[in-house]
C-alpha cells in the first residue's frame, strides 16, 4: 500500500499544487461541536439524505422549507409518534416529495434517535464518543438501527453532520482498488475492516482526519 505522502503528492499534481488541494479538503467538527448538535438537526439530516438518495438533490433543497413545515421542524418526539393517518396525509402533501417508503422512514429514524438519546444523552454525544478507529462500525450501526441509512446514505448523514468519516465515492473506491485494499465496493465485514485499517494507517502517518484522506484519495485518480 502506497504511503499517504506519495498519494498526496500525486493528488497535488492533479489539482494544481498543494495549496489548491488543501483548499478542497473538508474539516470535521470537534467532539464538543458534535455533542452540541440537536436531535432535531440529526433527524433533519437523516431525512434530507434519505430523500436525496437516487433523486435530484436540487429538488430536495428547493423543497426543504416545505419538508421542515410538514414535519414540524423535525421534532423527534412528534415525528416518532406520526400515525398511519399522518403518514397517509403526508403522502398527499405537495410541500414534500411524496415517496411513501421514504416518508415512513421519518418516524422510524425518529425512534432510532430517541433510542440513542436514551442511551447516550443525545445523538450528537453518541457521534462524538464514537471512535474514529472504528467508523465502519458506526456505518453498520446506522444501517442496522436506522431506516434506509445503509451505504452511502448513512455516510453522507455522518459527513454532513460533521462526524469524521470517509465517503466511498466512485473515485475513492478506484483509489482503494489501486492500493490493493479492495477489489470492489466493500460489503462484507472483512472488506470493510480492510478499508478501516487502510484509513487508520494513513491517519497515523499523516495525522489528517479521515474525511481529508478520503478527498485526497479521490483527487489522486484520473
Q: What is the pLDDT at residue 169? A: 96
pLDDT classification of 13: cutoffs 50, 70, 90: very high
Q: What is the pLDDT at residue 61? A: 97
CA dihedral 166, 62, 104, 114 (to 10 degrees): 60
- Closest C-alpha among 207, 177, 211, 208 to residue 194: 177
| Angle of helix 39-52 versus helix 151-161 axis, rounded to 10 | 140
- Closest C-alpha among 18, 54, 57, 75 to residue 160: 57
Q: What is the pLDDT at residue 219? A: 98
Domain definitions of the chain by residue range: 4-28+166-219, 32-161
Burial class (CB in 10 A: 0-12, 13-18, 19+), 128: buried
Angle among Cα 62, 153, 58 to the nearest 5 degrees reads: 15
pLDDT classification of 32: cutoffs 50, 70, 90: very high
Which uninterrupted H or E stretch holds 74? none
DSSP-derived secondary structure for 152-189:
HHHHHHHHHHT-------HHHHHHHHHTTS-SSS--SH
Tens-digit pLDDT profile for residues 142-174: 999 999 999 999 999 999 999 999 999 999 999
Tens-digit pLDDT profile for residues 51-75: 999 999 999 999 999 999 999 999 9
Q: What is the pLDDT at residue 73? A: 97
pLDDT classification of 215: cutoffs 50, 70, 90: very high
Q: What is the mean pLDDT of the chain?
A: 97
pLDDT classification of 37: cutoffs 50, 70, 90: very high
Cell 434519505, located at residue: 50
pLDDT classification of 209: cutoffs 50, 70, 90: very high
CATH classification of 32-161, choosing from 1.10.340.30, 3.40.50.300, 3.40.30.10, 3.90.79.10? 1.10.340.30
Task: Please state the φ and ψ torsions of residue 175, each to the nearest 5 degrees.
Answer: -65, -40
Amino acid at each position: 500500500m502506497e504511503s499517504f505522502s506519495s498519494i498526496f503528492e500525486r493528488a497535488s499534481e492533479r489539482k494544481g499544487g498543494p495549496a489548491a488541494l488543501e483548499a478542497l479538503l473538508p474539516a470535521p467538527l470537534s467532539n464538543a461541536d458534535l455533542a452540541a448538535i440537536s436531535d432535531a438537526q440529526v433527524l433533519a439530516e437523516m431525512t434530507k439524505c434519505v430523500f436525496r438518495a437516487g433523486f435530484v438533490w436540487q429538488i430536495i433543497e428547493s423543497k426543504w422549507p416545505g419538508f421542515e413545515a410538514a414535519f414540524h421542524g423535525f421534532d423527534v418526539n412528534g415525528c416518532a409518534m406520526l400515525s398511519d393517518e399522518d403518514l397517509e396525509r403526508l403522502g398527499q402533501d405537495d410541500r414534500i416529495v411524496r415517496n411513501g417508503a421514504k416518508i415512513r422512514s421519518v418516524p422510524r429514524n425518529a425512534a432510532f434517535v430517541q433510542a440513542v438519546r436514551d442511551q447516550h444523552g443525545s445523538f450528537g454525544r453518541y457521534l462524538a464518543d464514537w471512535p474514529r478507529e472504528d467508523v465502519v462500525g458506526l456505518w453498520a450501526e446506522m444501517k442496522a438501527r436506522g431506516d434506509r441509512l445503509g451505504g452511502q446514505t448513512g455516510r453522507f448523514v455522518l459527513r454532513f453532520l460533521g462526524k469524521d468519516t470517509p465517503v466511498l465515492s466512485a473515485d475513492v473506491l478506484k483509489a482503494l482498488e489501486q492500493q490493493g485494499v479492495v477489489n470492489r465496493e466493500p460489503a462484507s465485514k472483512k472488506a470493510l475492516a480492510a478499508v478501516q485499517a487502510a484509513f487508520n494507517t494513513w491517519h497515523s502517518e499523516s495525522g489528517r482526519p479521515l474525511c481529508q484522506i478520503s478527498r485526497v484519495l479521490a483527487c489522486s485518480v484520473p
